[in-house]
Amino acid sequence: MITPAFSIKTFNKIKRIFPIKPRDKIFLPIIINPTNLENFLRIFPNSITVSFPNYTIYSSILRNQFLAEKIVNNEITVKMDFFGIYSNFLSENATMTIILFPTNLALNLVKYALHKIISLSSTIALLIIVGNKKQNELISKLLELSQLEYSKSKSQSYNFYVIPKFNSTINIQSKFTDYTFKIQYKKNFSEFEFYSSDGVFSKDKVDDGTNFLIETVLKKTTISKDDEIIDYFSGLGVIGIVIAKKFRPKKIHFIESDIISLYLLKRNLNNYQIDRSVVHEMDGLEKPNIPFQTIDFIVANPPTHIRKEEFIHFLKISKDLLKIKGKLIIVINKIIPYEQTLKEFFPNPQKIDVYQKNNYKIIINKKIN
């Protein structure tokens, strides 16, 4: 998700069109930019509740000293959610709600969020800020249908919708399950269906890299019922679930940071009754609560945008978690030059196997020391 840092001019615009009093309690239901949150807190020293849609975003917030101190001192109430997937959408007792839609947020997710807003029974003041043309068209249409009184203005590339006294009488039941669908995946030993939605990686099908990784695991590895496995950056849980159904290992850990992906992952695990699983809701570049040298296999399809220093950090964590002779199996795009980096961390070249297919390569490394 992407939300650029607002300029001072934009914040002055917010102050002018959306007057916030000292006693107002502010709810920011989707924040992904640390700079914007810091400026909100400096400009509006109110009681603020913030909802983050991703644990990686939350980690970046904590790296900001000013914001970290505010959170530690309980000056900010933090929720991990996306418009009520896991909890009540509205913060209790909030009087002002400000929504900054990420510019690349899928229209279906914008629609879901707006339906959650319109279904509120509380009386609040509401400000919606949007910088995407199609999102703007959708919001205008839905607000007109809602028969709510609102004003609209523009500053720079953003549109501002102000609803000074929001209390919709329209009965809209909005559940995230209404925005999910199933994708099919077939292997020679079974056919799979996975819940998916907008806002996740490769939403319409199992991507080629993941499929190549699964094929390689099935053909090139032997996983026993005593093994413990991590599916890193697990997304919908495709890799781990296929491994669980094929090999039935002792335990599989799923590590995922995105709230929407976590919702779908848990639904998929429940659907396939993978009861030997543990879901770690966390930034994938933080160390999970798993003892060192207890893992037999780590399988991972890292994000294509992962930076070298982040990849190195992931390798450090993996090396600590793997048993002696444990294996790290990753798939990366062939243009990403991280193969040498992996060899530097696991300095046993004879123990690294590389397989390539189309635009992807699989690297299997066996930990020796």
Same domain for 236 and 156 = no
- Report how far residue 104's alpha carbon sits from residue 131's, in angstroms, rounded to the nearest whole number: 9
- Report how far residue 79's alpha carbon sits from residue 63's, in angstroms, rounded to the nearest whole number: 17
1 lies in some domain = no
What does the pLDDT look like over 114-131, one tens digit per residue?
888 776 656 688 899 999
169 lies in some domain = no
Q: What is the CATH number for 204?
A: 3.40.50.150
Last residue of a domain, one of 163, 197, 212: 163
What does the pLDDT look like over 227-267, one tens digit per residue?
999 999 999 999 999 999 999 999 999 999 999 999 999 99
Last residue of a domain, one of 163, 197, 223: 163
Q: Which domain holds residue 242?
A: 180-367
202 lies in some domain = yes
100 lies in some domain = yes
For the chain, percent helix, then strand, then coil, each to nearest 5? 35, 30, 35
29 sits in the region (left: phi over 0; alpha: psi -120 to 50; else beta) called: alpha
pLDDT confidence of residue 352: 80
pTM of the model: 0.93
Same domain for 68 and 29 = yes
What's the CA angle centered on 281, arms 279 and 286, to 5 degrees? 110
In sequence order, the 6+-apart residues with CB closer than 8 A to the CB of 304 are 333, 336
- What count of Cα atoms within 13 Å lies in the side-chain half-sphere of residue 320? 13
Same domain for 227 and 148 = no
What's the CA angle centered on 120, arms 119 and 126, to 5 degrees? 115
Same domain for 20 and 143 = yes
Same domain for 103 and 202 = no
Same domain for 288 and 206 = yes
Same domain for 228 and 158 = no
How far is the CA of 52 from the CAs of 32, 131, 256, 265, in angstroms?
A: 7, 19, 14, 18
2 lies in some domain = no
Report the percent of the chain where pLDDT is more than 70.
92
329 lies in some domain = yes
Same domain for 242 and 142 = no
pLDDT confidence of residue 32: 86
What does the pLDDT look like over 135-169, one tens digit per residue?
999 999 888 887 788 999 998 889 999 988 766 55
pLDDT confidence of residue 348: 65
Q: Which ranges constitute the DSSP H helices of the chain? A: 8-17, 34-43, 55-62, 65-72, 107-118, 133-146, 208-220, 238-247, 259-271, 308-321, 339-345
Strand 190-197 vs strand 180-187: parallel, antiparallel, or unpaired? antiparallel
pLDDT confidence of residue 341: 79
Same domain for 247 and 147 = no
Could you give the angle at which helices 65-72 and 55-62 cross, rounded to 10 degrees? 100
Cβ neighbours, 10 Å, residue 335: 9
- Report how far residue 211's alpha carbon sits from residue 232's, in angstroms, rounded to the nearest whole number: 15
Same domain for 332 and 225 = yes
Same domain for 199 and 157 = no
168 lies in some domain = no
Q: How many domains does the chain have?
A: 2
Same domain for 187 and 85 = no
Q: How does pLDDT run along the chain (369 residues), one tens digit per residue? A: 667 788 888 888 999 999 888 888 899 989 888 999 999 898 888 888 999 999 999 999 999 999 999 999 988 989 999 988 877 666 567 888 899 999 999 999 999 988 887 766 566 888 999 999 999 999 998 888 877 889 999 988 899 999 887 665 555 657 899 899 999 999 888 899 999 999 999 999 999 999 999 999 999 999 999 999 999 999 999 999 999 999 999 999 999 999 999 999 999 999 999 989 999 999 988 999 999 999 999 999 998 888 889 999 999 999 999 999 899 999 998 887 777 777 777 666 557 888 899 999 998 888 766
Cβ neighbours, 10 Å, residue 91: 23
- Report how far residue 110's alpha carbon sits from residue 53's, in angstroms, rounded to the nearest whole number: 13
322 lies in some domain = yes
